[in-house]
Amino acid sequence: MEIVVVRNKLCGGEWLRSEEPRNYQFDTSGGVSIVDLFCGCGGLTFGVLEALYCNGLAGSIKLAIDNNPHALEVYKTNLRVSEDVVCKADIGQLLSGNLGECTQSCEKALIQPLGKIDILVAGPPCQGNSNLNNWTRGDDPRNQLYLKVVRFVELVKPKIIIIENVLKFLH
């Protein structure tokens, strides 16, 4: 699938200034399928939905995972998804295998109902990799959680992967 940005409909601030909410098309059968790991309140997925909308495509959020129940409530409200789409869980337990290992039973249970995934968005914790963090930088157990995103990619093989983090993450 190729997404072409229509020049006169570029995603921009126009929708932020509008008082009319976007009527995003949600298509649970044939839309562009999206999974959101470390979803928080849904900012990354909101951006993807806006890009799809501006290009006349429908989005289908298949799964959103985070361990913060308050963020998940905001996610459900803002992105109008049902309770069965959001998952409050420790992603380390859901994706218990390491890179290159056989698929674990809990991983099979997670990915089997998803079917094909077009877009994976993920915002793994960045606090431990941030130059602003002088307390646990370099020694934060969350620093390795990005590997769970890589594990998910290994298992599901989405067409597009969007990972947001801080610059130091590249090194």
Q: Where are the domains of the chain?
A: 27-170
* pLDDT score recorded for residue 7: 41
Q: Which pTM value belongs to this model?
A: 0.78
Give the integer Cα–Cα distance in Å for 136 and 2.
42
Sheet holding 119-122, edge to edge: 86-88, 59-66, 32-37, 119-122, 160-163
From residue 36, alpha-carbon distances to 14, 39, 58 in Å are 25, 5, 16
Give me the tens of pLDDT residue by residue for the chain, a chain 171 residues long.
444 444 445 455 665 666 666 666 555 456 899 999 999 999 999 889 888 887 888 889 999 999 999 999 999 988 888 899 999 999 989 999 999 999 999 999 999 999 999 999 998 876 555 555 555 556 666 667 888 999 999 999 999 999 886 555 455
Please say if 126 is a catalytic residue: yes
Distance, CA of 52 to CA of 95 (rounded, Å): 28
Q: Which two tokens stand for residue 151?
A: 């594990």
In contact, 91 and 38? CB cutoff 8 Å? yes
pLDDT of residue 160: 95
Our CA angle for 39, 126, 153, nearest 5°, is 55
CB 8 within 8 Å of CB 39: no
| Fold assignment, 27-170 | Rossmann fold (3.40.50)
Decide: helix, strand or coil at residue 23: coil
Q: Contact at 8 Å (CB) between 164 and 125?
A: no
